[in-house]
Structure 1
Amino acid sequence: MTTSHYIAGRWVEGQGSDCISVNDPALGQPFAELMAASVGQVDQAVTAARGALHAWKSTSASERAAYLRGFAEQLGQRREALITLQMRNNGKPRHEAEIDLDDAIATFGYYAELAEQLPSKNRDVPLAAPGFSARTRLEPVGVVGLIVPWNFPLVTSAWKLAPALAAGCTVVLKPSEVTPLIEQAYGQIADALGLPAGVLNIVNGKAETGAALSNHNGLDKLSFTGSNSVGSQVMRSASAQCRPVTLELGGKSAIVVFDDCDVGQAVEWIVAGITWNAGQMCSATSRLLVQDGIAEALLPRLQEALENLRVGNPLTEEVDMGPLTSQAQWLKVAGYFATAREEGLQCLAGGKALDRDGWFVSPTLYADVPKDSRLWTEEIFGPVLCARRFATEEQAIAEANDSRFGLVATVCSADLDRAERVADALEVGHVWINSVQAVFVETSWGGTKGSGIGRELGPWGLSAYQSVKHVTRCLG
């Protein structure tokens, strides 16, 4: 049994009623267990964060920056252990796990730099009216709850934790019960750096623990990344207390391929967009819109590329794609395969769970999928790609925007003016042109429509944990 809760600067055993099994998805077997935090322990964590807030927000920006750089350095020192844990608990291939760790390190380094710039953000405000002076202060929101998902642990938590600490907030972090172990590194690093007790608290658990945190009246803000169904519950909790919330939710993103594209290059971008992390990404470009003039050449090449992907256990094989992370997700994706058969969809590749130990499915391609198909409209969260053809630029834009989600999109075209024009017309938060999904800490992350509220990363990520105060003084 693993001790996995970090409250008020101490490691404590869980007192909740849920026992969490931590699984290796490539084997479909547990390799660790822990007891969830109780509702009372969640309250202790929030109380500890509240108690530490005044001192932490009073520290200088340079002090907070030094701690953030310490987190980046300590993550690097734990490199091999964290990569291996990502591979074992998430099923990520090594190259993906390495990128995850590098992303987390870069995030802490970036927000260390922004923290050092904070004093210059407090400035005088010119007024048109005589006889008054005014100045602006950017202050921490306060105590924040952070709830993160299982598909990118360590990374999503870094996107929230680093800017929150940089702003001067204290935090209570709840990792996913599917991947509860890797975020323990943040508590271990806090100990190693001597981070003041209560600034960072970590509580693990299932729905009861998450509800206890999101409903707690001691929070000043909550940031959540996960499914739309849970996000709506988080939003209801926030609305009951008129509390600010950041939500990063689902997607059903489009990749638009025009007929002037190099076929081989387009296949590379398409495959990366649907099979990275076995398609378990809110940003997966799971709707392929391919222009008529290139479709007959591209679809067979795409079918071949998906069929040739190496799928297996990343700890024992050199693979391109690992398993789905949980049995629940495996069953969900298998359910969509059954739906596709019921709907009579044309399957060019995959469409089945693999007959082997663990939670593996085949990379899948369906062609000429109707717009009213569940597979075209619903987020599957697996390596399942649905293709449709289009004739004109206007049709491509209309079909790409015809979704209740609006997270990301990709545009592939040799005509860069057209690519830029289409990118500007797409109703999403981030567009890639002729690229894999390269995410940089300097750019924003977040979506429109049903994909969430607010932005993470870049200066916008820091602003999410700040409040604006103006001080106006009469000079008379």
Structure 2
Amino acid sequence: MQTHFSLTINGQQTGGDAGQFDVLNPATETMVASAPLASVDQLDQAVEAAAEAFKSWQHTPDAERQALLHSIADVIAANADELAEIIVLEQGKPMFLAHAEVTGAVAWTRYNADLPIPVDIIEDSEHKRIEAHHKPLGVVASITPWNWPLMIAIWHIMPALRTGNTVVCKPSEYTPLNTLRLVELINQVLPAGVLNVVTGQAEIGGAISSHPGISKIVFTGSTPTGQRIMSSAATNLKRLTLELGGNDAAIILPDVDVDAVAEGIFQTAFLNMGQTCAALKRLYVHDDIYDALCNKLVELAQAQVVGNGLDAEVTFGPVQNANQLKIVTTLVDDAKAQGARILCGGERLAGPGYFFPPTLVADITDGTRLVDEEQFGPVLPIIRYQDVEEALARANAADVGLGGSIWSADIDTATQLANRLECGTAWINGHAEVLPHAPFGGCKMSGFGVEFGEQGMLEYTRLQVININK
């Protein structure tokens, strides 16, 4: 892995005018590398470069943009090992999961490359033809979190480029290295200024939110930060796509085969050590199978190998940063104080690194912080219920609504219940599955707008109606 990382502004690599900051490995708490710290002036330069590039990029023939996106996918694939290593070092996930993230980034890029931009015919009569065209917005700002640093950057960047926009990225200060390298690689393919990256903390994020030269912000992160972005974006009526916090509930009906569903429940709850927006975070289990499912989940948790993601045998990495580890620890300690039963895990592991083993918490219910608040870490509260209507009401009581799921052998019953979940995506006998062709987004305080598929791509466009009198 390279040790020197730069901003990319107008196709050129440059240092940060505001200095540098250290990026830590969460498995060792030692420095991975220094990252450049951009100034607000450098953000202005990046936006100016993107605005200038937009003048020509928006008119690039559609087939040429598609071919360039396929070339980007080729570059990512050719550098897969390096990108995966950076992910493990700065984010902490096991190597197999980092490689899956890179593979997913390649597939998502190719899907966007092949996605057609529709022209809708509203009327085509003897005297009139009306067409609806989708035009690019201009400069799009991407603000990404630390949990899936490569994948979420790709989710933001590729539909923006596909539709003729130019982009300025700001990755999380916890995991900037992968995005810095990604943008450097992509600039081997794209014209200068089409894709730029700056790094920074609250000052840069705030400047992006209110910047008059930015036409749209796509943000994945916490609800409070999304609210601040929305407030600042009003200055020039920026378009927004906000994928914010969630506290996804799953309801397990008594007719399930516990042995058949336990693995799926465990993996979707603890995906990326539970640090996934759409992970299963509240598990409502019918009384008839409660103890059996708890026991099976404990078996799966205790089979995990916790450690440094660079070690081949490791299946479970650290929490990404000290602040998030503190949140997880506080919620678990509060659950203990409220009388909840820790089935396994429950305490930070001794030694360096932000390691917290997969933790299952039973005899807990709504009104406890671990149930009511998003833990975003390797802890799953398991709530007992007897009446499915009660479980459904509890699941819907949250002020967020990203995802939810129903698990049952009866698909018709599960579908009826899924339709009543107040969330953007309701899965049946699964959870946390996001696909490039299926729109994904939240409701309530989980944000608005969707990503993925044609609907997600068109959020990077404005509608122009062409009204032709023949």
TM-score, L = length of structure 1: 0.95
Q: Deviations over 1:381-440 (max 9, x none)?
A: 111111112223322222211211111112211111112112211111122222353321
Deviation at 1:347, TM superposition (A): 1.7
1:66-215 correspondence to structure 2 within 5 Å: 66-114=67-115, 117-118=116-117, 121-126=118-123, 131-193=127-189, 195-215=190-210
1:244-323 correspondence to structure 2 within 5 Å: 244-323=239-318
Deviation at 1:371, TM superposition (A): 1.1
Q: Secondary structure at the match of 1:250?
A: coil
Deviates more, 1:224-233 or 1:92-101: 92-101
Deviation at 1:131, TM superposition (A): 4.9
Deviation at 1:321, TM superposition (A): 0.9
**Aligned CA distance change for structure 1 residues 88 and 313 (closer, same or farther; 3 Å):** same
**Aligned CA distance change for structure 1 residues 351 and 380 (closer, same or farther; 3 Å):** same
2:385 is the alignment partner of 1:383: no
Q: Secondary structure at the match of 2:211?
A: coil
Deviates more, 1:4-13 or 1:416-425: 416-425
Q: Deviations over 1:83-111 (max 9, x none)?
A: 11111211111221122111111111011
8 Å Cα contact 1:26-1:322 kept in structure 2: yes
Q: Partner letter of residue 141 of structure 2?
A: G
Q: Deviations over 1:445-465 (max 9, x none)?
A: 211111111000111221110
5+ long unaligned stretches in structure 2? none
**Counterparts of 2:270 and 2:120, CA distance in 1:** 47
Give the corresponding residue for 2:14: 12
Q: Secondary structure at the match of 1:172?
A: strand
Query: Please, which of 194, 212, 215 is the counterpart of residue 220 of structure 1?
Result: 215
Deviates more, 1:389-398 or 1:271-280: 389-398
1:328-339 correspondence to structure 2 within 5 Å: 328-339=323-334
Q: Secondary structure at the match of 2:34?
A: strand
Q: Partner letter of residue 143 of structure 2?
A: I
Q: Secondary structure at the match of 1:99?
A: helix
8 Å Cα contact 1:28-1:327 kept in structure 2: no
8 Å Cα contact 1:69-1:109 kept in structure 2: yes
Q: Secondary structure at the match of 1:278?
A: coil
Q: Deviations over 1:301-349 (max 9, x none)?
A: 2223223321111212512210011122112212222222332322222
**Counterparts of 2:378 and 2:182, CA distance in 1:** 30
Q: Secondary structure at the match of 2:278?
A: coil
Q: Secondary structure at the match of 2:8?
A: strand
Work out the percentage of aligned pairs sharing the same amino acid: 37
1:455-466 correspondence to structure 2 within 5 Å: 455-466=450-461
Q: Deviations over 1:237-275 (max 9, x none)?
A: 112322211100111011211111111222212211221
8 Å Cα contact 1:36-1:209 kept in structure 2: no
**Counterparts of 1:186 and 1:370, CA distance in 2:** 43
**Counterparts of 1:359 and 1:123, CA distance in 2:** 52
Q: Partner letter of residue 434 of structure 1?
A: N
5+ long unaligned stretches in structure 1? none
2:340 is the alignment partner of 1:345: yes
Deviation at 1:296, TM superposition (A): 2.2
Aligned CA-pair RMSD: 1.6
TM-score, L = length of structure 2: 0.96
8 Å Cα contact 1:4-1:204 kept in structure 2: no
8 Å Cα contact 2:265-2:430 kept in structure 1: no
What count of residue pairs does the alignment treat as equivalent?
468
Deviation at 1:292, TM superposition (A): 1.3
8 Å Cα contact 1:134-1:473 kept in structure 2: yes
Deviation at 1:36, TM superposition (A): 0.8
8 Å Cα contact 1:144-1:220 kept in structure 2: yes
Deviation at 1:4, TM superposition (A): 1.9
Deviation at 1:226, TM superposition (A): 0.6
Deviates more, 1:87-96 or 1:216-225: 87-96
Q: Deviations over 1:204-241 (max 9, x none)?
A: 11111111112111011111111111111101111232
Give the corresponding residue for 2:391: 396
8 Å Cα contact 1:292-1:390 kept in structure 2: yes
Deviates more, 1:199-208 or 1:338-347: 338-347
**Counterparts of 2:217 and 2:167, CA distance in 1:** 10
Q: Partner letter of residue 8 of structure 2?
A: Y
